[in-house]
Amino acid sequence: MRARRVVRRRSVARAAVGTAVIAGTAGAVHHHQNKKWAAQDAQQQQQYDQEQYEEEPYEEEQYAAPVAPAPAPDLTAQLQQLAQLHNAGVLTDEEFAAAKSKLIAG
């Protein structure tokens, strides 16, 4: 009987050691795979970022040159009023040119 108990104890101990080895190996493999996948993801992200950087045009090329704003309605109305006065003969050519320059200059 005693021999059987010793054998059973050894087989239980072997099973426990085997399970621990398998669990430890599985954990190590899992950790290694996670590191490998994280490195692959980082490399893919870096490659994507580099491609985006190379494809994006500079801001100067992306946007057209700013266009001067159209004259404000008040300025347009004032210029029309000056033109009417000039056409009516109230303002001379010199007075019209001076008034127009003054309005445009601000």
pTM of the model: 0.34
pLDDT at 102: 87
pLDDT tens digits for 84-102?
988 988 889 999 999 888 8
Q: Can you read off the two tokens belonging to residue 42?
A: 């980082």
- Cα–Cα–Cα angle for 46, 49, 54, nearest 5°? 125
pLDDT at 3: 55
pLDDT tens digits for 27-69?
776 777 888 888 888 888 888 888 877 766 655 556 666 777 7
Is 92 or 21 the better-scoring residue by pLDDT?
92
pLDDT above 60: residue 1: no
**Within a 13 Å sphere around the CA of 75, how many CA atoms are in the beta-carbon half?**
11
What values do phi and psi take at 65, rounded to 5?
Answer: -60, 145
In the structure, what pLDDT confidence band is assigned to residue 20 with cuts at 50, 70 and 90? Answer: low
In the chain, what are the domain boundaries? 2-60, 68-105
The set of residues, in sequence order, having a beta carbon less than 8 Å from that of 62 and lying 6+ positions away, is none
